[in-house]
Each structure stands twice: as structure tokens, then as C-alpha cells.
Amino acid sequence: MNNRPYLKKPEWLRIKMQGGQNLNHVQKTLDKFGLTTVCDEASCPNRMECFSKSTATFMILGSVCTRGCTFCDIATGAGQIIDKLEPKHIADAVKALGLKYVVVTSVTRDDLPDGGAFHFADVIREIQKTSPSAAIEVLIPDFKGNRDALNTVIEAKPIIINHNIETVPRLYSEVRPQAKYEQSLELLKRVKETTDGIYTKSGMMVGLGETQEEVLQSLKDLREAKCDFLTIGQYLAPSKEHHPVIEYVHPDVFEIYKKAAMEMGFKDAACGPLVRSSYKAHEMLQD
């Protein structure tokens, strides 16, 4: 798929190694309860840093996605059997780790009638039972536009509902061929129309071939949908079989995006080469 010349990673994308007791504690706890994190499955560049700070993003509904986005490192194929004990196991892990801020995401499950929304709600409720003071953010798929599915998650009352638009609309056919830009915006808008007690959040990758003008227009689209929080990070191709990196975007450009986002009215915007959807999510809410 990638026939373009190899682009050498610039200095600003070098990642410092992290270690320590917390890192081992997080990994042992995840292993104990047989849990999956998107940190590992999606080869996140920040996973060592986050693990060392006793934070992780739990991934539910299996480790195989029913869609085939060209940027993603998560395995694709038929949906796996749902582990009905997973909500309790995640709640137990949250309590064991003493987490005050929890992020839960999933693979996309187009094979399920509700896209896995009820399972999301179960996880939220179980965490609320055992760790009532923990703030819960969910990073959800689009549920194929199913309003009842979205309402199921809303009714469980997480503090943030996150749904990534990922890229600009022009690149959807290349990057997210099974998704719709307008449908993602509509999901975020619908959360705000349904309740005023939940924040919304979305994220984008850059370096896929978009222009600055297109990114800024997408930020305007998100604000029109009343999106509260924003993340923008550099796309890093997991392999030569994935969508190629077209450009390594300079940190100065990320500053342009952050400044524009704040001027547009986002409550906060994390913009930088190594920023990912859940990176320092708890700090964003506290700012």
C-alpha cells in the first residue's frame, strides 16, 4: 500500500523510555484480570509513560475490530464472543489500581445490534459501584448512527463521551472507508442535545495528507456540534501495509491548531506530535 519514499522521523518524535514500579503494577493488574488496553493493541507511543503513571485505557468487546481503517494497528475480522464478566473485571482493576480517572474504549462491533452500547453501559455502572469517586470517560464508535445505542451510553452517565472524527472529510474514503464524517459530527451533536451533564470530546490525526485549511474547517465543524475538548496528534504508520505518513507536522503547526481551537471556544485542546485521544485525559478535565 505504501509506495512513497521513506520519511525519516524528526527529533521531536523521539520518545523517552519510561519504567518503574507503577509500570509493572499496572501490567500485572491487567494480566491478573485478563484485560486488554488500547495502549498495547494500537501500539500507542505513550503507553510506557502512561503505565508508569498508573493510567491505562481499557479496551472492551474483544481485541478484533469489524472495520478496516487503514491507519489502525488493531486486528480486523469477525467480532469475538463478549465476556460478560468483563465489566466486573474492569471495575476490580480500577479499584486495585486506585484510579481516579478511567478511560474505556472498544473495537467497533458492527456485528452487534447495538454496537456494544449496552456493554459500555454495564462497564460504566460497575465502575461507579466500586469506585464512585472515579471520573469515567468513554471513547465510543459511531454505533452506525443508532440513536438508541447512543442513548444507552448517555443514560449510564459517564463524565465525557469521546468520539474521534480522526481526519478531514476529504480523506475518509482512504482512511475511514466504512465511516461517515457527518455521522460522527451528528453523534457529538446529539449528546449535547440529549443532556447538558456530559462533556464531549473528539480527536484528529495529522500527517495523512490534509491541509491546514481543512483541519481548521474540521475544528469549526466540531465547535458547531458543541464539542468541548479536542486532541490532535501526529499520525504514525504502524507498518508499510498501513496508510503512509505523508508529512511529519512541525510542533509550531500544532501550536497554530491549539491557538485556533481555544479561540473557537473549546474548553481545552491538547495538540502535539505525540498527543493521542486519551493522553493525559484527566489533566484536560482538571484544567
Out of 165-174, 231-240, 275-284, give the one with best mean pLDDT.
165-174
Residue 240 has pLDDT above 50, yes or no: yes
Least confident of 69-78, 224-233, 244-253: 69-78
Q: Reduce the secondary structure of the chain to three states and give it as a string.
A: CCCCCCCCCCHHHCCCCCCCHHHHHHHHHHHHCCCEEHHHHCCCCCHHHHHHCCCCEEEECCCEECCCCCCCCCEECCCCCCCCCHHHHHHHHHHHHCCCEEEEEECCCCCCCCCCHHHHHHHHHHHHHHCCCCEEEEECCCHHHCHHHHHHHHHCCCCEEECCCECCHHHHHHHCCCCCHHHHHHHHHHHHHHCCCCEEEEEEEECCCCCHHHHHHHHHHHHHCCCCEEEEEECCCCCCCCCCCCCCCCHHHHHHHHHHHHHHCCCEEEECCCCCCCCCHHHHHHC
> pLDDT digits over 197-213, tens only?
999 999 999 999 999 99
Percent residues over pLDDT 90 in the chain: 59
Q: Tell me the pLDDT band of 39, cut-offs 50, 70 and 90.
A: very low
Note the pLDDT tens digit of each residue in 41-69: 444 554 445 544 555 678 899 888 898 78
For the record, the C-alpha cell of 233 comes out as: 496528534
Name the pTM for this structure. 0.87
State residue 79's pLDDT score: 83
Distance CA 28, CA 132 (A): 24
Instruction: Find where cell 519514499 sits.
Output: 5
C-alpha cell at 240: 508499510
More confident residue, 18 or 208: 208
pLDDT digits (tens, 9 = 90+) for 99-118: 888 889 999 999 999 999 99
The pLDDT of residue 24 is: 63
Which of the two residues, 13 and 280, has the higher pLDDT score? Answer: 13
Mean pLDDT of the chain: 86
CA distance 158 to 237: 31
Q: What is the pLDDT of residue 143?
A: 97
Q: What is the mean pLDDT of residues 127-135?
A: 94
pLDDT at 279: 66
Rounded average pLDDT over 183-188: 98
Per-domain residue ranges for the chain?
A: 11-286
Q: How far apart are CA 208 and CA 176, in angstroms?
A: 12
For domain 11-286, give the CATH superfamily.
Answer: Aldolase class I (3.20.20.70)
Please report, to the nearest 10 degrees, the dihedral formed by the alpha carbons of residues 208, 212, 215, 217 taken in order. Answer: -150
Contact 25, 97 (CB under 8 A): yes
In 10 A of CB 24, how many CB atoms?
12
